[in-house]
């Protein structure tokens, strides 16, 4: 069972890495395209920056809250 879990996790990680790489290439092509209006390029950059900042804030807050968690064991 552990081998199947490892293989499935690796397949998911590989697929996500490929999709992320394709997405990065597509976004860079968007910024390099001459026929895309400047306001659209600025809007896309703002959305990406905001999403990245929000993700960072959520991760930092979760790590801070994790230090203060005092979970007790539950007996079944």
pLDDT at 75 over 80: no
* Residue 51 binned pLDDT confidence (cut-offs 50, 70, 90): very high
Q: How confident is the model at residue 60 (pLDDT cuts 50, 70, 90)?
A: very high
Residue 27 lies in a domain: yes
Q: In terms of Cα–Cα distance, which of 24, 20, 23 is closest to 12?
A: 20
DSSP 34: S
Note whether 7 and 25 are same-domain residues: yes
Is 1 domain-assigned? yes
> Do residue 50 and residue 28 come from a single domain?
no
> Are residues 49 and 22 located together in one domain of the fold?
no
Q: Per-residue pLDDT tens for 7-45?
A: 999 999 999 999 999 998 988 888 888 888 999 889 989
What is the pLDDT at residue 50?
Answer: 95
| 53 in the same domain as 26 | no
CA torsion 51-19-9-56 (nearest 10°) is -10
Residue 2 lies in a domain: yes
For the question of whether the overall pTM of this predicted structure is more than 0.95, the answer is no
Structural domain includes residue 9: yes
């Amino acid at each position: 069972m552990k081998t199947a879990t490892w293989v499935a996790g690796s397949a998911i990680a590989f697929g996500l890495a490929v999709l992320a790489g394709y997405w990065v290439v597509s976004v860079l092509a968007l910024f390099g395209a001459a026929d895309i209006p400047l306001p659209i390029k600025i809007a896309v950059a703002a959305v990406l920056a905001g999403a990245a900042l929000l993700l960072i804030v959520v991760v930092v807050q979760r790590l801070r809250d994790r230090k203060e968690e005092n979970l007790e064991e539950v007996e079944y």
